Structure 1
Amino acid sequence: MGDNRKFGQIILPRMVTSKILHHQELCVHRSMSEVSGVVDETLGKRPLDGQETLKYRVFASTWNLGGIVPSDDLNLEDWLDTRANSYDIYVLGFQEIVPLNAINVLGPSKRCVSTKWNSLIGKALNQKKTQDGEDLHHTTTNSSASQQGCFRCIRSKQMVGIFASIWVRSNLRPYIHHLDVSCVGSGIMGYLGNKGSVSVRFMLHETSFCIVCCHLASGGKQGDVLLRNFDAADILARTKFNGGGNKKLPKKILDHDQVLLLGDLNYRISLEETETRLLVKAKNWSTLLENDQLVSEFSTGRLFEGFQEGPVTFSPTYKYQPNSDQYYWCFEAARGEKKRAPAWCDRILWRGKDLKQIQYETCDYKLSDHRPVRAGFFAECKIRGDGESLGGFMP
Structure 2
Amino acid sequence: MVTWNVATVDPPDDLTSLLHLNDPEGPDLYVIGLQEVFSGPLRFASDTIFDDPWSQVFMSTLAPLNYVKVSSVRLQGLLLLFFCKLEHLPFIRDIQATYTRTGLYGYWGNKGGVSVRLSFYGHMLCFLNCHLAAHMNYASERVDEFEYIMDKLVFDGEKAPKIADHKLVFWFGDLNFRIQDHGMHFVRSCIEEQNYSLLWSKDQV
Q: TM-score, normalised by structure 2?
A: 0.88
Tell me which protein shows more helix as a share of its residues.
Answer: 2
Q: Which residue of 1 aligns with 2:62?
A: 125
1:208 maps to which of 124, 142, 146: 124
Partner residue of 2:135? 219
Q: C-alpha distance in 2, partners of 1:190/1:122?
A: 31
Indicate the structure whose relative CO is greater, using CA pairs within 8 Å and at least 6 residues apart: 1
**CA, structure 1 residues 254+231, in 2 after alignment: closer, same or farther (shift >3 Å)?**
same
Counterpart AA for 1:90:
Y
1:125: how far off? 2.4
Distance 1:79 1:117 in 2: 13
Fraction of identical pairs, as percent: 27
Q: Which residue in the other structure is 1:165 paired with?
A: 81
Q: Any idea what SS the aligned residue of 1:261 has?
A: strand
Give the structure 2 partner of residue 70 of structure 1: 11
> Aligned to 2:199, which of 288, 309, 315?
288
Give runs of aligned pairs for residues 375-394 of structure 1, distance below 5 A: none
Structure 1: runs of 5+ lacking an equivalent: 1-59, 128-148, 295-395
> What's 1:277 paired with?
184
State yes or no: 1:258 paired with 2:197.
no
1:70-117: CA deviation from partner (whole Å, max 9, x where unpaired) = 25xx11121111212521111110000115x7x58xx75844785321
Unaligned stretches of 5+ residues in structure 2 = none
Q: 2:149 aligns with which of 225, 230, 235?
A: 235
The count of corresponding residues between Structure 1 and Structure 2 is 198
Q: Which amino acid aligns with 2:148?
A: D
Amino acid at match of 1:80: L
The residue aligned with 2:19 is 80
Is the 8 Å Cα contact of residues 276 and 288 (structure 1) preserved in structure 2?
Answer: no
Partner amino acid, structure 2, of 1:70:
P
The normalised TM-score by structure 1 is 0.47
Matched residue of 1:284: which SS?
helix
Higher radius of gyration, 1 or 2? 1
> How large is the Cα RMSD of the aligned pairs?
2.2
**Which amino acid in structure 2 is aligned with residue 242 of structure 1?**
D
Structure 2 distance, partners of 1:120, 1:68, is 13
Match of 1:90 among 22, 27, 30: 30
Change beyond 3 A, Cα 1:216–1:182: same
Residue identity in the other structure for 2:168 = Q
* 1:195–1:250 CA distance, 2 compared to 1 (3 A): same
Whichever structure has more strand as a proportion of its residues is: 2
Structure 2 CA distance for aligned equivalents of residues 152 and 67 of structure 1: 26
Residues in 1 aligned to 2:30 and 2:185: alpha-carbon distance in whole angstroms: 37
- Partner-residue secondary structure (3-state), 2:52: helix
Instruction: Report the CA distance shift for 1:178/1:68 in structure 2 as closer, same or farther (over 3 A).
Output: same
Could you say what secondary structure the match of 1:188 adopts?
coil
